Amino acid sequence: MPLLQRLRPDHAQALLAFERENRAYFAASVPDRGDEYFAHFDARHRELLGEQAAGLHFFHLVVDDGGEVLGRVNLIDVADGSAELGYRIAERAAGRGLATAAVRDVCALAAAEYGLTTLRAVTTLDNAGSRAVLERTGFTPTGDIHLDGRPGLRFVRHLDGGEGLA
C-alpha cells in the first residue's frame, strides 16, 4: 500500500527517477520543468529541503513498499494559514484513486500538523482527472484562470481541523 512521506534528503534519487520517467506524461497537462531542473536536480533538492525546514513549503512523496515514488503532493507558498496544493501521480499509477487518497491525507496534515486553515489549487479545464480529484476532496471552484494560455479554474478548500486521514 502506498505511503505518504515528507520529503527527505534520501528521497533524491527515487524522486529524480520519478520525474524523468514521467516527464512527457506530465508535460501533456502541466508546464514542463525544463532541462535546468534535471541538470541541477541535486542542488534544487537541497534548496527545497531548506525551504521546507524554514516552513515556506511542505513537500510529500507517495511511495510504494519498495521505495519507488508514485507521486508528489506539495503545499507551497505557506503564509497566513494558507498554502497552494499541487500534485502529480505517475502515469503507471494514474486512475486508481491514489491522487484522491494522497490529497485527502495532505489536507489532514495541513490542518493537524501544519496549522493551515485554507488550501488553494488550480488546474486547466482539459485536465478532467485533476478537477475530479479536487472536487472529491472537498475543493470548490472559485473562478476562472489561464494557465500557460489554457483556460482553467481556481479552487479553494477551507480546513476545519476535523479532516481525518483517508
Quote the strand ranges of the chain, DSSP E.
Answer: 3-6, 58-63, 69-79, 82-89, 118-124, 140-147, 150-158
**Count of the separate structural domains present in the chain:** 1
In a domain, 166, yes or no: no
Range of the domain at 99: 3-158
Per-residue pLDDT of the chain (166 residues; tens, 9 = 90+): 678 999 999 999 999 999 999 999 988 887 778 888 899 999 999 999 999 999 999 999 999 998 899 999 999 999 999 999 999 999 999 999 999 999 999 999 999 999 999 999 999 998 899 999 999 999 999 999 998 888 999 999 999 865 554 4
In a domain, 165, yes or no: no
In a domain, 36, yes or no: yes
Q: Which three cell numbers stand for residue 130?
A: 485533476
In a domain, 164, yes or no: no
Element (H, E) at 34: none
In a domain, 46, yes or no: yes
CATH number, domain of 99, equals 3.40.630.30
Instruction: Give the residue among 34, 45, 97, 107 at the shortest CA–CA distance from 70.
Output: 97
In a domain, 124, yes or no: yes
User: What are the φ and ψ backbone dihedral angles of 62, each rounded to 5 degrees?
Assistant: -100, 115
| Angle formed at CA 112 by CA 107 and CA 83, multiple of 5 degrees | 50
Instruction: Give the residue among 144, 139, 9, 162 at the shortest CA–CA distance from 83.
Output: 139
